[in-house]
Amino acid sequence: MKILGLFRHAKSDWNDARLRDFDRPLNARGRAGAEVMGKYVREHGVPWARFVASPAVRVTQTMEIAAKAARITPHVVWDRRVYLANSETLIEVLREQEGDPPSIMLCGHNPGLEDLIFDLVPDDGSNPLRDEVEEKFPTAAFAVLELDIENWDDVTEGCARLVHLVRPRDLDPSLAPQLSD
């Protein structure tokens, strides 16, 4: 069995229209969400063996703030393919992980992360967490999947169970979506 964590970047700032999408930073609520989620991810207790992330500014800032809050210094593999990747690309990234770590935290963007959950977790009506993801996998959401595989290169559709899901608003009501979102 392998464990896959999915961590979507926190809320980004749209105020500077001159910035490329890749360069958008976090806004104040995003920074607060990244901090809350970083502490939570640490307390959740999975020892993440590898971190793979998009190098987009909003992801790097999310990772930096979350790692500081979690009091860890992760070695992050920054993979440009994760930036706005679809599920197929994310599966390819997972299959290519060397050294076969027991757990991987994948940090990136929607709709790719959400679609990855839909592709890996069967839609058999037995998982209420999957139903919640169908409603929305919001910014700074954190999900944990257990994959019934021996090696990462065995990742295939339907091989996982979604066993955990938490959003910033679940931990701090002030981080719930605002009318302006």
The tens-digit pLDDT sequence of the chain (181 residues) is: 999 999 999 999 988 888 999 999 999 999 999 999 999 998 888 889 999 999 999 999 999 999 999 999 999 999 999 999 999 999 999 999 999 999 999 999 999 999 999 999 999 888 899 999 999 999 999 999 999 999 999 999 999 999 999 999 899 888 887 755 5
Number of domain units in the chain: 1
- Which CATH number do you get for residue 165? 3.40.50.1240
In a domain, 83, yes or no: yes
- CB neighbour list of residue 70: distance below 8 Å, 6 or more residues apart: 38, 39, 41, 42
Whole-prediction pTM:
0.94
In a domain, 180, yes or no: no
B/e letters for 49-87, b = 16+ CB within 10 Å, e = fewer, are bbbbbbebbbbbbbbebbbebbeeebebebbeebbebeb
In a domain, 181, yes or no: no
In a domain, 171, yes or no: yes
In a domain, 105, yes or no: yes
